[in-house]
Structure 1
Amino acid sequence: MRRFGRTMVTAALAVTVVAGTAGWASGDAQRVVTGPPPGASAWRDASPAGRALPDPEDAAPGEVARFFAGLGEAARDELLRSHPLVVGNLEGAPLPLRYEANRIAIAATGEARYASLAAPGRQILAFDPRGRGQVAEVFGDLEHADRVSVIVPGSDNDATGHDAARKPNTGPAGMARSLRTATGGATAVVAWTGYTTPVGVGVDAATGRLAEAGAVRLARFTAGLDAVGAPDPVIFCHSYGSVVCGLAARHTDATDIVAFGSPGMRADSVADLRTRARVWAARGPSDWIADIPNVRFAGLGHGADPTSPAFGARRVPAADVPGHTGYFAPGTQSLAAFAAIAKGEPR
């Protein structure tokens, strides 16, 4: 009876969205930014030292890594200076080269909203200025790390707001810093806003359209980590980001996938994710995500609650988590558990 009731609630939401009432914004649909970054056409036309360049859209990250391994320093520098947006977003390219390429690309935009990303010491692993912008930032030494974690955020995150003032330990960068501190610096952490996220609570947040595009990018990103010799990652997935992770799970080599504040992962159980990763789930007592019906109907909703016993995920203690974004707050049970998972400690 309870399932029937929730199905009816979701059906009502579908009608509400179509009608454009009750606060659901039908006009907030985001244009998905995907494919190769700007400058890909010029890159394809170039041939330094008479060598064909790997296609930024189709080349496997392993192929990219082998290409750069065969280049001399002068040829690498030529590509870096001539095609910074491509090099900076090319999965499989050497990490230091990508950091420098993105510093150049960010500075070249001339936009004040991105200026801080080009500051000395920042390790920007990806930067795409199209739309609201996408960005990935590394905290720690990813090139030599024994352990790597990736933060996949949810709605309202993009490159334009990456450095915006927030409550401490929230947002992808804040979560990444908090996790790295909690591990005692034992893991490198990537704050990965590498997909077009929903804005607000609207149709995009209730459907899987943006998550499907994001899952392709996340899978390619993790393949890029593998291509440069980074360890298999632990992926932490917040809110709508857990929808992305659920769809990408079978295509990544993650050791662990942690969903927290999740509306669902587009799966009925851990088995449906078809992953060899250990799957974890957390939800705080005051997280409003608990009010979201865990069903799928007429394209709306993201399926089963990952914290439910039937889903089969390992539970992360979260009894003291405040609200929807407090999972990385210092002193919380969830942060302590996240740090242990990130370090590979048995639980």
Structure 2
Amino acid sequence: MHRFRRTLAAVAAVTAMVGGTAGWASADSQTAVTGPPPGTAAWRSEGLIDPVAGTPAQVASFFRGLGEQERRDLVRRHPLVVGNLDGAPVELRYAANRANIAADGRFTRLLAPGKQILAFDPRGRGQVAEVYGDLTGSRHVAVIVPGSDMDAATYDRARDPYGTPAGMARSLRGATDPADTAVVAWVGYTTPVGVGIDAATGGLAEAGAERLTRFADGLDAVGASDPAVFCHSYGSVVCGIAAPRLNAADIVAFASPGMRVDSADGLRTGARVWAAKDPTDWIDNVPNMQVLGLGHGADPTAPSFGARRVPAASAQGHTGYFAPGTDSLRTFAAIAEERTGE
């Protein structure tokens, strides 16, 4: 009976969170974008390497066997596949995605000079990955994995800039040696909208984890360094599910509702695991539990979880961790540059 009452209390607490105790309204449920890149049927009809069955390493090998003209022809004929094909050469993906964005017409700001768009999937709300710096030439690479409300339209905005993956990426790169650090703002999965059932459950995170692990394998396949992966809010749920298969040097959960495990050991990763939560973050009001599919489990910043703690006393709110001058940003930069001995 005691256990039953505890379960009822937990369900009530999580239900209250889903209903918006953080001050946000419950929102529409989202359908995850999954599967191969758009345009795959035409690609397969030519007998080219399968975008699903072929690993990113095999994709990289396939492109190494092509001549320059053959590569350009594939970009021209199949831009949506090449632009989203993990393991394809970075410069080819940039070129393909310029064509994809121009053809789509909704996100023309992504065509601004100097933009390096590593992925652009127009399905649903749109997904995008933008690179800041030299991805394959830098000694250090970081990847930003965002939480709710991020898509191709919202991943970079003037309002609340350090709450967007693009703003986080620019801030992190500015705090590191830009000549030797590349940062990717990765919005490569369907994120929840608002604080609703999607944000309280793991369905979208499971789909996102598959895409994140393949993306990281793609970085490895083109010779990029193992990244430090910075996982914000619901993005830390994605990273928690991906962790056992995620090719990363560091996994940093911040503003996290939980990672769907009880401890850092439960992530079953060889990466260093870090966690940050500032004292004014509303996420602290979210119950750290997992009951009947609701909630995401233990607080990664709890001492019992076993993650390395990132200082965040000077960060403000749920989206202030990358603000210039904060202790959290300084530590994030040290993690990205492998200076954590300091």
Say which of 56, 60, 67 aligns to 1:65.
60
**1:26, distance to aligned residue in structure 2 (A):** 6.6
Q: Structure 2 counterpart of 1:161, which letter?
A: T
Deviation at 1:126, TM superposition (A): 0.3
How far 1:21 sits from its partner (Å)? 9.0
Is 1:223 the counterpart of 2:217 in the alignment?
A: yes
TM-score by length of 2: 0.94
> How far 1:200 moved relative to its partner?
0.3
Equivalent residues of 1:240, 1:262 under 8 A apart: yes
The C-alpha deviation readout for 1:207-239, integer Å capped at 9, x for no partner, is: 000000000000000000010011111000000
**Distance in 2 between the 1:342 and 1:140 partners?**
14
Secondary structure of the corresponding residue to residue 219 of structure 1 = helix
Identity level (%): 66
Query: Mean Cα displacement is larger for which, 171-180 or 185-194?
Result: 185-194
In structure 2, the CA distance between the partners of 1:241 and 1:125, relative to structure 1 (3 Å rule), is: same
- Retained in 2: the 8 A contact 1:10–1:300? no
Q: Which residue of 2 aligns with 1:119?
A: 112
The answer to whether structure 1 residue 334 and structure 2 residue 328 are counterparts is: yes
Q: Closer, same or farther in 2 for the Cα pair 1:184/1:8, shift >3 Å? A: farther
Q: What amino acid maps onto 1:163 in structure 2?
A: D
Partners of 1:232 and 1:6 lie apart in 2 by: 42
**Structure 1 residue 58, shift from structure 2 partner:** 2.1
Deviates more, 1:281-290 or 1:157-166: 157-166
Q: TM-score, normalised by structure 1?
A: 0.93
Whole-Å separation in 1 of the counterparts to 2:4 and 2:322: 35
Equivalent in the alignment of 2:266:
272
Distance in 2, matches of 1:322 and 1:220, equals: 33
8 A contact 1:17–1:25 mirrored in 2:
no
Q: Partner of 1:267: helix, strand, or coil?
A: coil
| Partner AA of 1:207 in structure 2 | T
Residue from 141, 151, 158 that aligns with 1:165: 158
Matches within 5 A, 1:168-247: 168-185=161-178, 186-247=180-241
User: Is 1:315 the counterpart of 2:302 in the alignment?
Assistant: no
Report the RMSD for the aligned CA atoms in angstroms: 2.0
How many residues are aligned here? 337
More displaced stretch, 232-241 vs 34-43: 34-43
| Contact 1:93 1:228 survives alignment (8 Å) | yes
For the pair 1:262 / 2:253, whether they are aligned, the reply is: no
**Which of the numbers 115, 128, 131 marks the counterpart of 1:135?**
128
* 1:264/1:303 contact within 8 Å kept: yes
Match of 1:87 among 82, 100, 107: 82
Runs of 5+ in structure 2 lacking a partner? none
Unmatched runs of 5 consecutive residues or more in structure 1: 47-51
Distance 1:177 1:9, change over 3 A: farther
Q: In 1, distance between residues paired with 2:222 and 2:242?
A: 20
Q: Is the 8 A contact 1:262 1:283 kept in 2?
A: yes
- Residue 13 of structure 1, CA deviation: 4.4
